Amino acid sequence: MSLQRFFLVRVGRLVTWPVRRQLRRFEYLCDDPRAVQQAVLERILRKQQRTGFGIDHRFAAIRSVEDFRRQVPVAPYEYVAPYIEKVQAGETNALLADDRVLMFALTSGTTASRKLIPVTQEYLTAYRRGWNMWGVKMYRDLRGRRIAMRPIVQMVGDPDEFRTSANIPCGNLTGFTAKVQMKLIRRLYAVPHETGKIKDALAKYYVALRFAMDRNVSQFMAANPSTLVQLARTLNAQREALLKDLHDGTLRGDLDIPAEVRSSLAPRLKPSPMRSRELSAAAEKLGRLYPQDVWGSEATIVNTWTGGSMGPYLRQLPQYYGDTPVRDLGLLASEGRMTIPFANSSPSGVLDILSHYFEFIPESEIDSTQPTVLGAHEIVEGGSYYILPTTLYGLYRYHISDLVRVTGFLGRTPLVEFLGKGSRFANLTGEKLSEHHVTKAVDAVLKTVPQPITGYTLAPVFDEREPYYAIFLEEPDAADAGQLRRFLKELDRELGVQNIEYAAKRESGRLGPLRVRVIPAGHWAKWDAERLKKTGGAAEQYKRPCLIGDLNFAATMPARDFA
């Protein structure tokens, strides 16, 4: 171990000591989630009772959970939006007892127009606490890989895309936290936070790789594994230019990089001819250059989402990153962190009972006018629920549309995994097919049929003779006709296993067999870009829907039938 490495590890242990203590306390409190959650709710109501929202909903008169549920409805963002609009204009007390809003975090725009979530100091404290506990537990579990205090590759977005009328910045939360990190921790991130201002996708990936190639990277971190797949493909496709820039200490002049960003990056570019020659030799020998060829796989780890619809991208990671552990980031969004994963290769995480108050509605009752509402101590293993967080920064009984399943417990606190956005349903003949049914079926079939999938979406197609569902795949994925037919047959059967109503409708002839519609190579990337442009979403957080219920969707795609 070098002297610098020894120093960094010792400093790291000193810096993380309070977090290790915090983690022990959290694990202890998980034995009594009911008491912890009751205290969290009381604190929220007490703090916010004199805000406009608190007065309108009579927080001061609330004496019990039952009172809270009577006076505050389960509601989506639109219910609280009028109060947030006042905060944007500078009337902070309309929703928040805090004196200052640091920024508005913009949601990903995956399912609708972007929402503005107020980020206060309380928000930042809870956000950091969750990340710190996640990190310490991850480092502890992977101690043998010696990844602590080594560089991390993480791309971030723009924390200041625009300003409200009260001059409050609105943008990417990860970009903001990267900017305000303590200097020691910021140095561990290989990709400068200024890159959040780069909008062009190729330029952003290229710059991230240019700054990472001559560092001893230990982690690759991205909310969506598709980002990591594209990062690896860019490395291979641009390897000659990257190696030349690495050798010369330069950055290609033809990349679409804002002038102010380029000027801030230039002083940090150093020539590394020895490293360039080393990697050039590897690329010539292998005929490629993937992350595993640059940084190895024995001492690295991938941190990304592993639940919901991420399966097709996760299966591509070993090709590029090798046999390295994958750690889920947890159920988190601009609205806050919901879970903290405690194990590798699992989307499950323990509910973050210290940060928010949580309620749950059983999946089957979400459309009921009077659904059953349960606390964290009342949900059961194997059950699927919609999660409703109440936060210290203005979200109350917030219907985020996230469907989760309980997979176990830490003490008495539930471990939950993200299944999908519950708003994604399709219903041609009463089958009520969900995105969760689709992703689970695809994952099951791909274990036995090695069908290549660059990306996919299922959608209903209305045909007067025989309505059916189509899976949209890109041209290269349809090259092996025999294998694709087998995949299609098995997927049609598995959809019936996951959803008995789908099976019933198929058996009765009310639904026709699943079909393939073939779209041009690269079309999914164009479709995603257009969707993000319309919603104003963030590419780093974006998740393409794996099921679209719109009957007009098929007509919008440049698709041909698979023979």
* Full 3-state SS string of 272-335: CHHHHHHHHHHHHHHCCCCHHHHHCCCCCEEECCCCCCCHHHHCCHHHHHCCCCEECCCCEECC
Listed in sequence order, the residues at least 6 apart from 169 whose beta carbon sits closer than 8 Å to its beta carbon are 103, 104, 159, 160, 161, 162, 163, 176
State how far the alpha carbon of 335 is from the alpha carbons of 109, 117, 123, 311, 499, in Å.
Answer: 13, 6, 9, 24, 31
Listed in sequence order, the residues at least 6 apart from 438 whose beta carbon sits closer than 8 Å to its beta carbon are 309, 458, 495, 498, 546, 547
Cα–Cα distance, 563 to 561 (Å, whole number): 6
Give me the pLDDT at residue 427, please: 78
**Residues 220-229: what's their mean pLDDT?**
88
Q: Which residue has the tokens 């719109």?
A: 550
∠ Cα 191 332 311 (to 5°): 80
Looking at this protein, which amino acid is placed at residue 446?
A: L
Give me the pLDDT at residue 490, please: 96
Cα–Cα distance, 132 to 234 (Å, whole number): 31
| DSSP type of residue 75 | B
User: Could you read off the pLDDT of 415-434 as tens digits, one per residue?
Assistant: 999 987 776 678 777 787 88
Q: Which residue has the tokens 């996708």?
A: 201
The band of 72, judged by pLDDT with boundaries at 50, 70 and 90, is very high
The length of the chain, given as a count of residues: 563
Backbone angles phi, psi at 381, to 5 degrees: -60, 135
User: Could you read off the pLDDT of 20-53 as tens digits, one per residue?
Assistant: 899 999 999 999 999 999 999 999 999 999 999 9
Looking at this protein, which amino acid is placed at residue 126?
A: A
* Percent with pLDDT over 90 in the chain: 69
Is pTM beyond 0.85? Reply is no
**Residues 266-279: what's their mean pLDDT?**
96
Give me the pLDDT at residue 538, please: 64
**Which residues on adjacent β-strands are paired with residue 351?**
339
Mean pLDDT over the full length of the chain: 90
User: Could you read off the pLDDT of 337-392 as tens digits, one per residue?
Assistant: 999 999 988 999 999 999 999 999 998 888 788 999 999 999 999 999 999 999 99
| CA end-to-end span of the chain | 60
In three-state secondary structure terms, 443 is helix
State how far the alpha carbon of 493 is from the alpha carbons of 442, 448, 507, 514, 562, in Å.
Answer: 11, 13, 11, 9, 19
∠ Cα 372 377 382 (to 5°): 75
